[in-house]
Amino acid sequence: MSSFNLVESPFDPQQAVVDSVVNAGDPWIHEIKKGQVFRILDLEGNQAVDTLFFNARDPEERYSAADTVRAQGALYLTTARS
């Protein structure tokens, strides 16, 4: 079993350009521009967040959770860099 350290984001939530609460099961879409920070915070605890990220100008470029989990060899994302 691997271990990991929880690290709280150093970014100030007051500096966010968008602050949204999305109810479980509801969709949400917003363009995040280069240099902006996107943070997902689970307010209720123990929730899964199904997230898709696409390049707004090139939908073929995307984030794939399945590819990330496979490459990382772990289910949880971390701040570790290789």
pLDDT tens string 6-48: 777 788 888 888 888 888 788 889 998 888 887 777 777 766 6
46 backbone φψ class: left, alpha, beta (φ>0; ψ -120 to 50): left
41-67 per-residue burial string, b: 16 or more CB within 10 A, e: under 16? eeeeeeeeeeeeeeeeeeeeeeeeeee
Amino acid at 16: A
Q: Which helix (H) or strand (E) holds 65?
A: helix 65-72
Q: What is the pTM of this model?
A: 0.56
pLDDT band of 2, cuts 50, 70, 90:
low
- CA–CA dist 51, 56 (Å, integer): 15
Residue 4 has pLDDT above 70, yes or no: no
